[in-house]
Amino acid sequence: MKTDGKYYCDVLIIGSGIAGLSCAITAADLGLDVIIVNKESSIQESNTNYAQGGIVARGLEDSPELLSDDIMQAGDGISNPEAVKIVAYEGPGMVEDFLVKKVGVPFSRTGDDEFEYAREGCHSRRRILHSKDSTGRAIETSLVGKLGEYKNIRAYSDHTAIDLLTIPHNSTNPIALYREPQCIGAYVLNNKTGNVERFFSSYTVLATGGLGRIYQHTTNPPIATGDGFAMADRAGARLINMEYIQFHPTTLFHKDADGFLISEALRGEGARLKTKDGVPFMAKYSELGDLAPRDEVCRAMYEEMIKRGDSYVYLDIASYTEINVKKRFPMIYEKCLAFDIDIQKVPIPVVPAAHFSCGGVQVDTWGKTSLKCLYAAGEVAATGLHGANRLASTSLLEGLVWGIRSARDIAGNFNGNKPYKESDIPPWQFPERTEETDPALIQQDWVSIKSTMWNYVGIIRTTRRLERARADIGYLKSRVDDFYRRAQLVPMVIDLRNGVRTARIVAEAALKNGVSRGAHFIK
Q: Which residue range(s) make up the domain with 268?
A: 251-354
Exposure string of 297-319, with b = 16+ CB inside 10 Å and e = fewer, is bbbbbbebbeeeebebbbbbbee
Query: Does 521 map to a domain?
Result: no
- Given 294, 470, 497, 501, which residue is catalytic? 294
| Whether residues 312 and 335 fall in one domain | yes
CA angle 478, 480, 481 (to 5 degrees): 65
Residue 399 to residue 382: CA distance in whole angstroms: 11
Is there a catalytic annotation at residue 294? Answer: yes
Query: Does 518 map to a domain?
Result: no
For position 397, which CATH number holds? 3.50.50.60
| Whether residues 277 and 202 fall in one domain | no
* 3-class secondary-structure state, position 97: helix
Beta strands in 168-302 (DSSP E): 182-190, 196-206, 239-240, 245-252, 272-274
**Cβ atoms 350, 315 nearer than 8 A:** yes
Q: Determine the angle formed by the axes of helices 491-512 and 463-486, rounding to 10 degrees.
A: 150
Query: Does 40 map to a domain?
Result: yes
| Whether residues 192 and 327 fall in one domain | no
Q: Which of 438, 13, 428 is nearest to 187 (CA)?
A: 428
Query: Does 257 map to a domain?
Result: yes
Judged on CB neighbours under 10 Å (0-12, 13-18, 19+), 115 is: buried
Q: Which of 241, 203, 237, 280 is nearest to 35 (CA)?
A: 203
| Whether residues 338 and 315 fall in one domain | yes
CA angle 516, 286, 79 (to 5 degrees): 45
Query: Does 522 map to a domain?
Result: no
Query: Does 520 map to a domain?
Result: no
| Whether residues 45 and 165 fall in one domain | yes
| Whether residues 239 and 364 fall in one domain | yes
Q: So what's the pLDDT on residue 113?
A: 84
**Final residue belonging to a domain, choices 354, 373, 405:** 354
| Whether residues 25 and 105 fall in one domain | yes
Q: So what's the pLDDT on residue 3?
A: 53
For position 466, which CATH number holds? 1.20.58.100
Residue 328 to residue 266: CA distance in whole angstroms: 9
| Whether residues 339 and 193 fall in one domain | no
| Whether residues 305 and 235 fall in one domain | no
Query: Does 75 map to a domain?
Result: yes
Domain count of the chain? Answer: 3
Query: Does 381 map to a domain?
Result: yes
The residue type of 471 is A
Judged on CB neighbours under 10 Å (0-12, 13-18, 19+), 485 is: exposed
Kindly give the confidence (pLDDT) of every residue in the chain, 523 residues in length, as a single tens digit, with 9 standing for 90 and above. Answer: 355 689 999 999 999 999 999 999 999 999 999 999 999 999 999 989 988 889 999 988 999 999 999 999 999 999 999 999 999 999 999 999 999 999 999 999 988 888 999 888 789 999 999 998 889 999 999 999 999 999 999 999 999 999 999 998 888 888 888 888 999 999 999 999 999 999 999 999 999 999 999 999 899 999 999 999 999 999 999 999 999 999 999 999 998 988 898 988 899 899 999 999 999 999 999 999 998 888 889 999 988 998 999 999 999 999 998 889 999 999 999 999 999 999 999 999 999 999 999 999 999 999 999 999 999 999 999 999 999 999 989 999 999 999 999 999 999 999 987 877 788 889 998 887 788 888 999 999 999 999 999 999 999 999 999 999 999 999 999 999 999 998 899 999 999 999 999 999 999 999 999 999 999 999 8
Residue 225 to residue 498: CA distance in whole angstroms: 7
* 3-class secondary-structure state, position 338: helix
**Cβ atoms 164, 186 nearer than 8 A:** yes
| Whether residues 140 and 227 fall in one domain | yes
**Final residue belonging to a domain, choices 303, 328, 354:** 354
**Cβ atoms 275, 304 nearer than 8 A:** yes
| Whether residues 496 and 413 fall in one domain | no
Q: How many CB atoms lie within 10 A of CB 44?
A: 19
**Cβ atoms 200, 184 nearer than 8 A:** yes
| Whether residues 446 and 500 fall in one domain | yes
For position 271, which CATH number holds? 3.90.700.10
**Final residue belonging to a domain, choices 333, 354, 375:** 354
Q: So what's the pLDDT on residue 1?
A: 38
